[in-house]
C-alpha cells in the first residue's frame, strides 16, 4: 500500500521568492523519513509540496518533479483534490472539526466520496484502532471531538487521516504542541503505522528524529533571505553519528541553532 | 499641618473622584433614558387601551377616532411579521453567499472593497429606498408578480383569487423586496465577521483530506459559524420589523390581513404609524403609541435573542475588526 | 484493504489516475457560481439605487433648488427647493450630536475604565437594548414625552432629541470598542509615571482612540441624517423656513423626500429625487470620509 516518493530537483516558489531550492531525495516506503533543520529553512514548505497543499497560497508554485511511484503528481491531468486522498497530512496543532463528534470527525474524509447511506462504523473503528485511540473513545463516539485531551485529539486527527486509506502520511511537527507522554504515545504509533504507510515527518526535536526515523534529511539556509536547501540526506544512524557535512554536524551538536 | 504632598494627593483624588462621578452620572442618565422611553410610551398608550382594551390585540380595522373606536394591532402585527419573514427569506441566502464570497472566493485585492460596497448599501437612507421602490420597482414588478401568481398560484402565499395582480402591485411582496435590500448588508456584514474568525487550521485539515473548495467551505467555515450567522439574521430581522418609511411609501394606506403577498394591501405597525399620524386625534395618537409599544416588544425580543446567540457564538468582541 | 477503496485513483489497468469524480467537481463549480451570483445580486440594488437617484435627481438639482424653500409652492408647481429642509436637518443633526456624543463618550469611558463588573454589564445590556429601538419608537417616545406630556409642541429640537436617542447607543458601542483597543500598556506606563487616572484617560487614552471614535461618530451621524420616521412625529414638517429649532415645526431633508414622494404629482416626485440626491450626497460623503479615516487610524488592526 505504501509508495515510494521520488523528488527530483524540486524548488518551491511563492511568487518570485524562492523558498526551497533544488531538493532531490527518494523517500522509501514502509519507513519513516525525518526532515530536520532550523526554523524557516523551508521544511514545512517542502512537505506541503508533497500533497500540493502549498497551492492554497496564491502565487505558490514549484519547479522540478515529484513522483509518487513513478507518477508525476504535478501532471496536467492530476487533480490536487484527489491527490490529497493518497497523500494525507497531520498538522502541528490538533485540528478536529469542532462542530462534529468523534465519529463524524473520523468519517469526515470518507463522507466526501462514499455513496450515501453506507455504514461507516467499521471503517471508523478500524481507523481508531490503527491510531491507538479506539479503547479510549469506543463508548463515546458521538461526543464532541473537542472534549478530548490534546494527545487524544492528535491521535483523532491521525485516525481521520488514515481513514481515507492514503498511501503516504505527512506529519508536520505533530508532537510539538503535546506533552511528553502524548508525544511518546504518538511515536509508538508511528512505529506501527510505517508498516502500512510511507511516513514523512518534519520535526524540531532531534531526539525524536533519531528515535523514529530510518532516513533523515537536514535542511538549512546558507544565509538569511536565501532559499532553504537539503544539505544532507542519509540513514538516520549515519546522520546523527558521522554526518558528512560540517553544517549538519554543527546543527546536530547544537553549535548552530 | 498636612505635608504638601498629601494636599496635592487629596486634590488629585478629588479630581479623580469627580471625573469618575461624571462618567457614572452619564451611565445613570442612559439608564433613566431607557426607563423613560418605556414609561412614557406605556403611559400615553393607556388611554387608547382603556377605550378599547378587549379587542386591541385581535380587532381588524383602524378607526380609533370613531365612536365606538375600533382598532386592532392584529393585522398590523401580521403584516409586520409576514413582510419581515419574506424579506429575510430573500435576503439571508444572498447575504451569506456574499459573505462567503468575500471571505473565501474573492481575489484578496478587491475583497475589502467589495465589503465596503456592501456596507455602503446600509448607509443609504431608507426613505431613498422607499422612493426608489415606488418609482422604479413597483411599475416593473407588476409583470413579475402577475407571472408568479399565474405560474405558482397553487402556492397559498402566491395565490391571486381576485385577479388583482394583473394591474396593481403595491403588495407586501414588493415591500418585502425593498426590506430585503435593506436587511442584506447587516446580515452580510455580521456573517463576514464571523466567517473571517474561523480558524485557518480547520480549513487546512479539510483540504488535506481531499475536499474541494466548496466542501472545505461547508465543513470548516460554515459549520462552526452557524451560531454567529444566526445572530446576524436575528439582528436583520429586528431591522426589518422596525422599518417604517420604505414600507410606508411602498404600501400606501391599506389595511387588511392579507396572506396573498402578491396582491395589493397589507400594512405594518411602523408604516401604519407613519401614515396615520398626521390625521390622528387624541385617541388615535394614543392607539398609535400602543401599537408602537407592541412593535418595541417585538424588536426587543428579537434583539435579545440575537445578542445571546451572538455572544454564545464565536464572535469575539474587540480586537478583530 | 479492499480493491474498492482504491477505485478512486486506480484505473482498471492499475495506472494511477488522480481525477476527481464528476459529481463533486460539478457541485464545486455550481457552488462557486452561486457565490459569484450572490455577490452580483447584492451589488445590483446598490448600483441601481445610486444610479437612479443620481440620474433622476441631478436634473432637478441646482443652486436654485438648494437655496429656496417650499414656501408658497403647491404640489403642481415646478419650482421650490430644499433650503428649509437642509437647514432643518443640519440644525437637528447638530443638536443631536451635541447631546449624544459627549454623553455617549462619557458612558463609554465609564464602561471601559471605571465601571464595576456588574454595573458595567447592566449598562452594557441596556445600551444593547437601546440599539434595538426602532426609529419610529424613538420618535413616538419624544412625541409622548415632549410634545404631549410637556405640551411643548413640534420643533426641531424635539426631533434632535429623538435622533440623539438613536445616536447614543451607537456612539457608546463604537467608542467603547475603540477604548478597548487602546493597549493597557499605554495606561500602565502613565500610571507608573504617577499620572492620575482621569488625566491618563483624557490626555492619553482618548487621543489614541480619537480617530476610531471620530469614525464611529461620523457613521452614527450618517445614519441619523437619513432617518425619517422620528422626524415625522416630532418635527412634523414645514413649508417655510424655520431657522429656530426650539420653536415651531421644521422641515428636514428625509421628511421632505417622504412628503414629496407620497404625492402623485410628477413635479413633487422630481423634487423628491433632487432632495434624495442631496441627502445621499451628504450621507455618502460622511460614510466615505469615515472609511478613509479608518485607514489612517494608528490602532487599525485590520
Query: Do C85 and C258 contact (CB within 8 A), yes or no?
Result: no
- Show residues of chain B in contact with A108, CB under 8 Å: 206, 209, 219
Question: B208, A84: Cβ pair inside 8 Å?
Answer: yes
- Give me C33's grid cell: 457560481
**Mean pLDDT on B303-307:** 83
Residue B134 CB partners (closer than 8 Å, separation 6+): B249, B250, C261
Question: A1, C1: Cβ pair inside 8 Å?
Answer: yes
Question: C129, B184: Cβ pair inside 8 Å?
Answer: no
Task: Give residue B50's pLDDT.
Answer: 74
Cα–Cα distance list, A125 to A131, A150, C3, C126 (Å):
10, 20, 19, 51
Give the CA-trace dihedral at B293, B299, B300, B305, to 10 degrees.
Answer: 160
How far apart (Å, rounded) are the C-alpha atoms in residues A20 and B162?
Answer: 74
- Show residues of chain B in contact with C301, CB under 8 Å: 319-321
**Mean pLDDT on A49-78:** 90
- The CATH number for A5-98+167-252, chosen from 3.40.50.300, 3.30.43.10, 3.20.20.140, 3.40.50.620, is 3.40.50.300
- Show residues of chain A in contact with C3, CB under 8 Å: none
- Give me A225's grid cell: 533571505
Do the strands A215-221 and A32-36 form a parallel or antiparallel pair, or are they unpaired? parallel
At CB < 8 A and 24+ separation, what contacts does A179-184 make?
A179/A150, A179/A151, A181/A151, A182/A149, A182/A150, A182/A151, A182/A152, A182/A154, A183/A151, A183/A208
Cα–Cα distance list, B36 to A222, B43, C138, C144, C255 (Å):
72, 10, 11, 10, 26
Instruction: Count how many Cα atoms sit within 13 Å of the Cα of residue C115 in the half-sphere of its side chain.
Output: 22
- The CATH number for B62-312, chosen from 1.20.1250.20, 1.10.3720.10, 3.60.150.10, 1.10.510.10, is 1.10.3720.10
Give the closest of C50, C126, C261 to B34, CB-based. C126
Strand partners, A221: A228
Integer-rounded Cα radius of gyration of chain B:
25
- Give the three-class secondary structure for A26: strand
Mean pLDDT of the residues in chain A: 90
Query: Do B247 and B127 contact (CB within 8 A), yes or no?
Result: no
Cα–Cα distance list, A163 to A30, A31, A155 (Å):
18, 19, 12
Tally of CB atoms within 10 A around B7: 11
Kindly identify which residue of chain A lies nearest to residue B206, measuring between CA atoms: A109
Cα–Cα distance list, B16 to B9, C113, C195 (Å):
10, 12, 11
φ and ψ at B146, to 5 degrees? -65, -40
In Å, how far is B300's CA from the nearest CA of chain A? 30
Strand partners, C250: C236
Give the closest of B208, B219, B226 to A89, CB-based. B208
Question: B19, C35: Cβ pair inside 8 Å?
Answer: no
Residue C83 CB partners (closer than 8 Å, separation 6+): C66, C67, C68, C69, C241
Task: Give residue A91's pLDDT.
Answer: 94
Strand partners, B171: B264
Return the residue in A79, A107, A163, A196 with the most chain C beta carbons within 10 A, the one to mutate for interface testing.
A79
Q: In this structure, what DSSP letter does residue C145 have? A: I
Question: C107, B27: Cβ pair inside 8 Å?
Answer: yes
- Give the three-class secondary structure for A142: coil
φ and ψ at C248, to 5 degrees? 90, 155
**Mean pLDDT on B266-277:** 84
In Å, how far is A44's CA from the nearest CA of chain B? 13
- Show residues of chain A in contact with B219, CB under 8 Å: 97, 108
- Give me C66's grid cell: 438648494
Residue B217 CB partners (closer than 8 Å, separation 6+): B100, B104, C31
Q: What is the pLDDT of residues A221-236, one digit of tens each?
A: 888 788 999 999 999 9
Q: Which of residues 108-167 of A touch B (CB under 8 A)?
A: 108-109, 112-113, 157, 160-161, 164
- Based on the number of CB atoms within 10 Å of its own CB, is C243 exposed (0-12), middle (13-18) or buried (19 or more)? exposed
- Give me C107's grid cell: 458612558
Partners of chain C (3+ Cβ pairs below 8 A): A, B
In Å, how far is A247's CA from the nearest CA of chain B? 33
Give the CA-trace dihedral at B74, C236, C246, C102, to 10 degrees.
Answer: 50
Answer whether the bond into residue C29 is a cis peptide, omega within 30°. Answer: no
**Mean pLDDT on A205-222:** 91
pLDDT at residue B313 tops 70? no
Q: Nearest-5° angle of CA B53, CA B58, CA B61?
A: 95
How far apart (Å, rounded) are the C-alpha atoms in residues B295 and C153?
Answer: 24
How far apart (Å, rounded) are the C-alpha atoms in residues B21 and B13?
Answer: 12
Query: Do C179 and B318 contact (CB within 8 A), yes or no?
Result: no
Task: Give residue A12's pLDDT.
Answer: 94
Q: In this structure, what DSSP letter does residue A19 have? A: E
pLDDT class of A169 with cuts at 50, 70, 90 = very high
- Show residues of chain A in contact with C14, CB under 8 Å: none
pLDDT class of B318 with cuts at 50, 70, 90 = very low
Give me the helices (H) in B56-171, please. 74-100, 108-123, 126-132, 138-151
Low-confidence ranges of chain C (pLDDT < 50): 1-15, 302
DSSP for C174-234, written as a single string: HHHHHHHHS-HHHHHHHHHTT--HHHHIIIIIHHHHHHHHHHHHHHHHHHHHT--HHHHHH
Query: Do C283 and C120 contact (CB within 8 A), yes or no?
Result: no
- Give the three-class secondary structure for A2: coil
Is the reported ipTM for this assembly greater than 0.95?
A: no
**Mean pLDDT on A59-69:** 91
- Show residues of chain A in contact with C16, CB under 8 Å: 68-69, 71, 86
Task: Give residue C1's pLDDT.
Answer: 36
- Show residues of chain C in contact with B23, CB under 8 Å: 106-107, 109-110, 113-114
How far apart (Å, rounded) are the C-alpha atoms in residues A128 and A152?
Answer: 11
- Give the three-class secondary structure for B53: coil
Residue C15 CB partners (closer than 8 Å, separation 6+): A71
Q: What is the pLDDT of residues B80-139, one digit of tens each?
A: 898 999 999 999 999 999 999 999 999 988 998 898 888 888 889 999 999 998 888 888
Mean pLDDT of the residues in chain B: 82
Tell the residue number behind the cell numbers 515510494, with chain if given. A4
Q: Does C20 touch chain A (CB under 8 A)?
A: yes
How far apart (Å, rounded) are the C-alpha atoms in residues C149 and B43?
Answer: 10
Q: Does C8 touch chain A (CB under 8 A)?
A: yes
- Give me C228's grid cell: 425619517
How far apart (Å, rounded) are the C-alpha atoms in residues B83 and B77?
Answer: 10
In Å, how far is A81's CA from the nearest CA of chain B? 5
Integer-rounded Cα radius of gyration of chain A:
18
Domain boundaries, chain C: 83-295
**Mean pLDDT on A18-38:** 93
Query: Do B236 and B187 contact (CB within 8 A), yes or no?
Result: yes
- Give the three-class secondary structure for B25: helix
In Å, how far is A37's CA from the nearest CA of chain B? 23
Task: Give residue A62's pLDDT.
Answer: 92
- Give me B66's grid cell: 370613531
Helix, strand, coil shares, percent, chain A, to 5: 35, 25, 35
Q: In this structure, what DSSP letter does residue A27 have? A: E
Q: How many Cβ contacts (< 8 angstroms) between chains A and C?
A: 35
- Give me C176's grid cell: 467603547
Do the strands A17-27 and A215-221 form a parallel or antiparallel pair, or are they unpaired? unpaired
DSSP E strands: which ranges in chain B? Answer: 62-63, 70-71
Task: Give residue B13's pLDDT.
Answer: 64
Task: Give residue C11's pLDDT.
Answer: 39
- Show residues of chain A in contact with C21, CB under 8 Å: 113
Tell the residue number behind the cell numbers 403595491, with chain if given. B170
- Give the three-class secondary structure for A171: strand
Cα–Cα distance list, A229 to A217, A249, C84 (Å):
10, 16, 75
pLDDT class of B66 with cuts at 50, 70, 90 = low
pLDDT at residue A34 tops 90? yes
**Mean pLDDT on B149-178:** 80
How far apart (Å, rounded) are the C-alpha atoms in residues B235 and B240?
Answer: 9
Query: Do B160 and B262 contact (CB within 8 A), yes or no?
Result: yes
Kindly identify which residue of chain A lies nearest to residue B224, measuring between CA atoms: A99
Question: C20, A78: Cβ pair inside 8 Å?
Answer: no
Task: Give residue B314's pLDDT.
Answer: 40
How far apart (Å, rounded) are the C-alpha atoms in residues B171 and B159?
Answer: 13
pLDDT class of A115 with cuts at 50, 70, 90 = low
Task: Give residue C298's pLDDT.
Answer: 58
Architecture of domain C83-295: Orthogonal Bundle (1.10)
- Show residues of chain C in contact with A86, CB under 8 Å: 9, 16, 18
Instruction: Count how many Cα atoms sit within 13 Å of the Cα of residue C117 in the half-sphere of its side chain.
Output: 0
Amino acid at each position: 500500500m505504501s509508495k515510494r516518493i521520488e523528488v527530483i530537483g524540486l524548488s518551491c516558489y511563492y511568487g518570485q521568492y524562492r523558498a526551497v531550492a533544488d531538493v532531490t531525495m527518494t523517500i522509501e516506503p514502509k519507513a519513516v523519513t525525518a526532515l530536520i533543520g532550523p526554523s524557516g529553512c523551508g521544511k514545512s514548505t517542502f512537505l506541503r509540496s508533497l500533497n500540493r497543499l502549498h497551492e492554497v497560497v496564491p502565487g505558490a508554485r514549484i519547479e522540478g518533479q515529484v513522483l509518487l511511484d513513478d507518477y508525476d503528481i504535478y501532471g496536467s491531468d492530476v487533480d490536487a483534490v484527489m491527490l490529497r486522498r493518497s497523500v494525507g497530512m497531520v498538522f502541528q496543532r490538533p485540528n478536529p472539526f469542532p462542530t462534529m463528534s468523534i465519529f463524524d470527525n473520523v468519517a469526515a474524509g470518507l463522507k466526501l466520496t462514499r455513496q450515501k447511506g453506507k455504514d461507516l462504523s467499521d471503517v471508523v473503528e478500524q481507523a481508531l484502532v490503527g491510531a491507538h485511540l479506539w479503547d479510549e473513545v469506543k463508548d463515546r463516539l458521538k461526543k464532541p471531538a473537542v472534549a478530548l485531551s490534546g494527545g487524544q485529539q492528535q491521535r483523532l486527527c491521525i485516525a481521520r487521516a488514515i481513514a481515507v486509506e492514503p498511501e503516504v502520511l505527512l506529519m508536520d511537527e505533530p508532537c510539538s504542541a503535546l506533552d511528553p507522554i502524548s508525544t511518546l504515545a504518538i511515536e509508538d504509533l508511528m512505529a506501527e503505522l510505517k508498516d502500512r504507510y510511507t511516513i514523512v515527518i518534519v520535526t524540531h526535536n532531534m531526539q525524536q528524529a533519531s528515535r523514529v526515523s530510518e532516513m533523515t534529511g537536514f535542511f538549512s539556509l546558507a544565509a538569511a533571505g536565501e532559499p532553504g536547501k537539503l544539505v544532507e540526506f542519509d540513514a538516520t544512524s549515519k546522520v546523527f553519528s558521522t554526518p558528512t557535512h560540517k553544517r549538519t554536524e554543527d546543527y546536530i551538536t547544537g553549535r548552530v541553532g | 499641618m498636612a505635608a504638601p504632598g498629601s494636599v496635592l494627593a487629596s486634590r488629585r483624588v478629588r479630581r479623580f473622584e469627580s471625573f469618575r462621578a461624571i462618567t457614572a452620572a452619564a451611565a445613570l442618565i442612559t439608564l433613566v433614558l431607557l426607563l423613560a422611553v418605556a414609561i412614557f410610551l406605556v403611559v400615553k398608550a393607556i388611554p387608547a387601551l382603556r377605550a378599547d382594551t378587549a379587542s386591541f390585540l385581535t380587532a381588524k380595522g383602524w378607526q380609533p377616532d370613531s365612536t365606538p373606536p375600533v382598532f386592532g394591532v392584529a393585522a398590523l402585527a401580521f403584516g409586520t411579521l409576514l413582510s419581515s419573514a419574506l424579506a429575510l427569506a430573500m435576503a439571508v441566502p444572498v447575504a451569506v453567499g456574499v459573505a462567503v464570497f468575500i471571505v473565501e472566493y474573492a481575489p484578496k485585492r478587491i475583497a475589502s472593497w467589495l465589503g465596503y460596497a456592501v456596507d455602503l448599501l446600509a448607509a443609504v437612507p431608507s426613505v431613498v429606498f422607499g422612493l426608489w421602490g415606488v418609482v422604479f420597482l413597483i411599475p416593473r414588478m407588476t409583470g413579475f408578480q402577475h407571472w408568479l401568481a399565474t405560474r405558482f398560484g397553487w402556492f397559498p402565499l402566491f395565490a391571486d383569487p381576485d385577479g388583482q395582480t394583473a394591474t396593481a402591485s403595491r403588495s407586501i411582496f414588493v415591500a418585502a423586496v425593498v426590506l430585503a435590500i435593506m436587511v442584506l448588508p447587516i446580515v452580510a456584514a455580521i456573517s463576514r465577521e464571523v466567517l473571517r474568525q474561523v480558524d485557518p487550521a480547520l480549513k487546512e485539515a479539510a483540504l488535506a483530506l481531499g475536499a474541494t473548495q466548496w466542501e472545505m467551505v461547508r465543513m470548516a467555515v460554515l459549520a462552526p459559524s452557524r451560531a454567529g450567522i444566526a445572530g446576524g439574521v436575528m439582528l436583520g430581522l429586528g431591522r426589518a420589523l422596525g422599518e417604517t418609511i420604505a414600507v410606508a411609501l411602498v404600501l400606501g394606506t391599506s389595511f387588511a390581513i392579507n396572506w396573498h403577498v402578491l396582491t395589493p394591501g397589507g400594512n405594518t405597525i411602523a408604516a401604519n404609524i407613519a401614515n396615520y399620524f398626521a390625521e390622528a386625534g387624541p385617541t388615535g395618537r394614543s392607539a398609535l403609541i400602543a401599537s408602537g409599544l407592541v412593535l418595541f416588544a417585538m424588536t426587543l425580543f428579537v434583539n435579545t435573542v440575537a445578542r445571546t446567540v451572538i455572544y454564545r457564538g464565536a464572535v469575539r468582541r474587540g480586537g478583530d475588526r | 484493504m479492499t480493491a474498492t477503496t482504491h477505485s478512486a485513483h486506480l484505473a482498471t489497468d492499475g495506472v494511477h489516475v488522480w481525477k476527481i469524480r464528476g459529481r463533486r467537481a460539478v457541485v464545486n463549480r455550481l457552488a462557486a457560481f452561486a457565490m459569484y451570483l450572490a455577490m452580483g445580486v447584492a451589488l445590483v440594488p446598490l448600483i441601481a439605487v445610486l444610479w437612479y437617484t443620481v440620474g433622476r435627481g441631478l436634473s432637478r438639482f441646482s443652486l436654485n433648488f438648494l437655496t429656496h424653500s417650499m414656501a408658497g409652492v403647491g404640489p403642481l408647481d415646478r419650482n421650490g427647493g430644499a433650503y428649509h429642509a437642509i437647514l432643518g436637518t443640519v440644525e437637528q443633526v447638530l443638536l443631536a450630536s451635541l447631546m449624544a456624543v459627549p454623553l455617549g463618550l462619557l458612558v463609554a469611558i465609564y464602561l471601559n475604565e471605571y465601571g464595576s463588573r456588574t454595573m458595567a454589564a447592566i449598562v452594557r445590556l441596556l445600551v444593547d437594548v437601546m440599539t434595538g429601538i426602532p426609529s419610529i419608537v424613538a420618535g413616538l417616545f419624544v412625541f409622548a414625552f415632549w410634545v404631549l406630556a410637556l405640551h411643548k409642541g413640534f420643533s426641531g429640537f424635539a426631533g434632535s432629541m429623538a435622533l440623539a436617542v438613536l445616536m447614543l447607543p451607537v456612539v457608546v458601542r463604537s467608542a467603547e470598542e475603540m477604548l478597548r483597543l487602546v493597549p493597557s500598556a499605554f495606561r500602565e506606563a502613565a500610571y507608573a509615571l504617577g499620572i492620575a487616572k482621569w488625566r491618563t484617560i483624557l490626555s492619553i487614552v482618548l487621543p489614541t482612540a480619537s480617530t476610531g471614535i471620530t469614525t464611529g461618530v461620523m457613521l452614527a451621524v450618517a445614519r441619523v441624517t437619513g432617518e425619517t420616521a422620528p422626524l415625522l412625529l416630532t418635527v412634523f414638517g414645514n413649508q417655510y423656513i424655520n431657522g429656530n429649532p426650539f420653536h415651531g415645526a421644521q422641515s428636514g431633508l428625509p421628511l421632505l423626500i417622504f412628503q414629496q414622494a407620497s404625492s402623485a404629482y410628477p413635479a413633487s416626485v422630481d423634487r423628491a429625487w433632487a432632495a434624495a440626491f442631496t441627502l445621499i450626497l451628504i450621507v455618502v460623503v460622511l460614510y466615505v470620509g469615515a472609511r478613509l479615516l479608518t485607514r489612517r487610524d494608528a490602532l487599525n488592526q485590520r
